[in-house]
Amino acid sequence: MNPEWEVVIGLEIHTQLATKTKIFCGCPAGAPEGKSVADLGPNANTCPVCTGQPGALPVLNRQVVEYAMKAGLALDCEIRRENVFSRKNYFYPDLPKGYQISQFDLPICEKGHVDIEYKFGGKEHTKRIGVTRIHMEEDAGKNLHMDEFSLVNLNRACVPLIEIVSEPDMRSAEEAGAYMRTVHAIVTAIGVTDGNMQEGNFRCDANVSVMPKGSTKFGTRAEIKNVNSFRFVEKAIEFEVDRQIALIQSGGRVVQETRLWDSAKGQTFSMRSKEEAHDYRYFPEPDLIPVHVDEKWLEKVKASMPELPTQKKARYVTEFGLSGYDAGVLTSSSSLAIFFEETLSLLGGAAKGLAKSVSNHVAGEISRLLNEEMIDITAAKLSPRHLAEIVKLQAGNSISSTNAKTVIGLVWKNGGVVEKIIETEGLAQVSDTGALEKAVEGVIAANPGQVAEYRAGKDKLLGFFVGQSMKASGGKANPTLLQEIVKKKLSS
Ligand SMILES: [Zn+2]
């Protein structure tokens, strides 16, 4: 980043809550079990309430309030005991009522924070990012623009969302990416959302501005709307920062506007000038009474909170002796943590001793493959059963750590049975002393000069002999055993 400028970023994250029904009516909030929302017919999930028919009245879904409270507790927020829904008025065809029911000045959660950790410039950084508020609201429908007319699909209208608004505490694209990843890990771990980013169930708006280094007055900000990938949010912010700095340096002025990210072109472009809050004429929703959260209800929700990623991470460090970094990778998504723990449970009594090995594979090769293919571990061919078997064979010296990685790669591609793959690919490790001695003897006989040097005190040559002998074994020798034999043969 440009050293003369300071970047200021705040994120608004919209998360669809994983309730069965919509926020103000009994319509299903998503697709039936085993189906995708893409399979739903247009306007299949609609009724007089979510299509905004005159006289239809909203009824608040209690589950939505509980999920919002859970998110607030997980992000260390205060829960407002009396919170109020408001009307946000604007006209757009995907909003049949002419207003969105949201929360304005009295949201359900306030004053929270999230601790982020990220690697940048080869170093690990930690930072606390403030959460200004979390409020509940309904989603709008979707417009589909044809050549001469437009279509409206209201399946999404009235689907429950929470909006998590951060303080403008982030100072780089990396911090924004780390914040978004951390919030995603938290809200999916507590089960309030499926976090599916392809379907738009977890997306963010990034407010970005720049100011000269040392200044305390924020610059004019642009809002980048609806970014639904961690990588895109980082790229969009980097582009936007460069654009704003270049604009100011060439004598121009940043205007307050809403911009969109074009991932194909790798740039943001202007969509419309940004509205101010007063443009929406907010007022309290007269069809809903204020939400009253009493002590009993709050205690019940608190008691239902599962282990949070930060707690899980601390537990992995103390219980299994993992590094903070590895434990962080394992708890970055709840599905990865479940994969890790299922593998351990399959290892039974040996789990504690092998946890480090399991963690090395999950945080190493498996994470690399997941990132490369941008999939979730639940979609992979590799199962906890496969990994448990690989780790067991590695611990028993039947395969080397290098070949364990190779087996993971092969199962990843084609699935299959671990033992069979090792056999057909010839990946088993040789621990047969007789065979290894033969290989070492061959290497010693072929390199009399180096043998003499070693015996004269050049200890460094040990690595040479081990390497040559490993080569002679076709890379299959048990390395500890091989080293022992090389030492023995050279000193005899
Ligand atoms: Zn409905």
pLDDT at 402: 84
pLDDT at 286: 95
Nearest to 359 by CA among 324, 307, 402, 308: 324
Token pair, residue 393, equals: 């064979």
Cα(378) to centroid of ligand 1, in Å?
Answer: 32
Cα(182) to centroid of ligand 1, in Å?
Answer: 33
Cα(411) to centroid of ligand 1, in Å?
Answer: 45
Higher pLDDT, 402 or 149: 149
pLDDT at 205: 95
Cα(152) to centroid of ligand 1, in Å?
Answer: 15
Confidence class of residue 130 from pLDDT cuts 50, 70 and 90?
A: very high
Confidence class of residue 13 from pLDDT cuts 50, 70 and 90?
A: very high
* 120: Cβ contacts below 8 Å, ≥ 6 apart: 172, 174
Cα(260) to centroid of ligand 1, in Å?
Answer: 30
Cα(203) to centroid of ligand 1, in Å?
Answer: 23
pLDDT at 277: 67
Phi-psi group of 191: left, alpha or beta (phi > 0 → left; psi -120 to 50 → alpha; rest → beta): left
pLDDT at 279: 82
Main-chain dihedrals φ then ψ at residue 418, nearest 5 degrees: -55, -50
Confidence class of residue 236 from pLDDT cuts 50, 70 and 90?
A: very high
The pLDDT of 196-204, averaged and rounded, is 91
* 208: Cβ contacts below 8 Å, ≥ 6 apart: 7, 8, 9, 221, 222, 223, 224, 237, 240, 241, 244
Cα(156) to centroid of ligand 1, in Å?
Answer: 10
Confidence class of residue 157 from pLDDT cuts 50, 70 and 90?
A: very high
Higher pLDDT, 44 or 376: 44
Looking at the predicted structure, is the pLDDT value of residue 345 above 90? yes
Higher pLDDT, 336 or 473: 336
pLDDT at 1: 59
The pLDDT of 320-339, averaged and rounded, is 89
Looking at the predicted structure, is the pLDDT value of residue 401 above 70? yes
The pLDDT of 6-35, averaged and rounded, is 94
The Cα-based distances of 290 to 21, 332, 461 in angstroms read: 21, 36, 79
Cα(41) to centroid of ligand 1, in Å?
Answer: 15
Are residue 215 and residue 272 in the same domain, yes or no? yes
Do 4 and 213 contact (CB within 8 A), yes or no? yes
Cα(55) to centroid of ligand 1, in Å?
Answer: 14
Cα(51) to centroid of ligand 1, in Å?
Answer: 7
Cα(195) to centroid of ligand 1, in Å?
Answer: 23
Cα(103) to centroid of ligand 1, in Å?
Answer: 20
Looking at the predicted structure, is the pLDDT value of residue 43 above 80? yes
What's the pLDDT tens digit per position in 237-286? 999 999 999 999 999 998 898 999 988 888 888 887 766 767 889 999 99
- The Cβ-side half-sphere exposure at 163, using a 13 Å CA radius, reads 19
Confidence class of residue 199 from pLDDT cuts 50, 70 and 90?
A: confident
What's the pLDDT tens digit per position in 417-426? 988 988 888 8
Q: Which of 265, 300, 335 is the last residue of a domain?
A: 300
Are residue 137 and residue 224 in the same domain, yes or no? yes
Nearest to 210 by CA among 5, 3, 4: 5
**Helices and strands (H and E) in the chain: how many:** 16, 16
Total structural domains in the chain? 3
Percent of the chain surpassing pLDDT 90: 62
Which segments of 124-172 does DSSP mark as H helices, in order? Answer: none
Cα(282) to centroid of ligand 1, in Å?
Answer: 23
Are residue 47 and residue 179 in the same domain, yes or no? yes
Which segments of 238-385 are extended strands (E)?
A: 257-262, 267-273, 283-284, 291-292
Are residue 83 and residue 163 in the same domain, yes or no? yes
Rounded Cα distance, 30 and 19, in Å: 9
pLDDT at 274: 67
Looking at the predicted structure, is the pLDDT value of residue 76 above 90? yes
Q: DSSP assignment, residue 364?
A: I
The Cα-based distances of 161 to 63, 231, 360, 381 in angstroms read: 12, 23, 37, 33
Rounded Cα distance, 219 and 438, in Å: 73
Torsion of CA 392, 397, 399, 402, to 10 degrees: 100
Are residue 358 and residue 458 in the same domain, yes or no? no
Cα(88) to centroid of ligand 1, in Å?
Answer: 19
Rounded Cα distance, 152 and 146, in Å: 11
- To the nearest 10 degrees (0 to 180), the angle between helices 351-361 and 309-320 is 120
The pLDDT of 463-469, averaged and rounded, is 90
Nearest to 297 by CA among 482, 83, 51: 83
Please, what is the average pLDDT of the chain? 91
Cα(426) to centroid of ligand 1, in Å?
Answer: 60
Cα(284) to centroid of ligand 1, in Å?
Answer: 22
Cα(86) to centroid of ligand 1, in Å?
Answer: 19
Q: Which of 277, 300, 323 is the last residue of a domain?
A: 300
Give how far the C-alpha of residue 395 lies from the chain's centroid of Cα atoms, to the nearest Å. Answer: 31
Looking at the predicted structure, is the pLDDT value of residue 99 above 70? yes
pLDDT at 296: 96
Cα(304) to centroid of ligand 1, in Å?
Answer: 29
pLDDT at 374: 81
Cα(288) to centroid of ligand 1, in Å?
Answer: 16
Are residue 233 and residue 352 in the same domain, yes or no? no
Percent of the chain surpassing pLDDT 70: 99
Cα(477) to centroid of ligand 1, in Å?
Answer: 66
The pLDDT of 306-319, averaged and rounded, is 91
Are residue 278 and residue 313 in the same domain, yes or no? no
Cα(478) to centroid of ligand 1, in Å?
Answer: 65
Cα(48) to centroid of ligand 1, in Å?
Answer: 6
Looking at the predicted structure, is the pLDDT value of residue 366 above 90? yes
Are residue 270 and residue 322 in the same domain, yes or no? no
Are residue 321 and residue 262 in the same domain, yes or no? no
337-351, 375-389, 412-426, 467-481: least confident range: 467-481
Cα(431) to centroid of ligand 1, in Å?
Answer: 67
Do 63 and 117 contact (CB within 8 A), yes or no? no
pTM: 0.80
Cα(45) to centroid of ligand 1, in Å?
Answer: 7
Are residue 182 and residue 252 in the same domain, yes or no? yes
Cα(157) to centroid of ligand 1, in Å?
Answer: 8
Do 15 and 164 contact (CB within 8 A), yes or no? yes
Task: Kindly report the CATH number assigned to the domain that includes residue 461.
Answer: 1.10.10.410
56-60, 222-226, 481-485: least confident range: 481-485
What's the pLDDT tens digit per position in 442-451? 999 999 898 9
Rounded Cα distance, 394 and 380, in Å: 22
- 454: helix, strand or coil: helix
pLDDT at 29: 94
- 31: helix, strand or coil: coil
Are residue 358 and residue 448 in the same domain, yes or no? no
pLDDT at 396: 85
Q: Is the dihedral of CA 388, 390, 394, 397 positive or negative?
A: positive
Cα(133) to centroid of ligand 1, in Å?
Answer: 27
Domain containing 457: what range? 433-491
Cα(96) to centroid of ligand 1, in Å?
Answer: 12
Cα(89) to centroid of ligand 1, in Å?
Answer: 20
Q: Which of 274, 300, 326 is the last residue of a domain?
A: 300
Token pair, residue 245, equals: 């700095």
Are residue 117 and residue 234 in the same domain, yes or no? yes
Token pair, residue 346, equals: 């399959």
Cα(180) to centroid of ligand 1, in Å?
Answer: 31
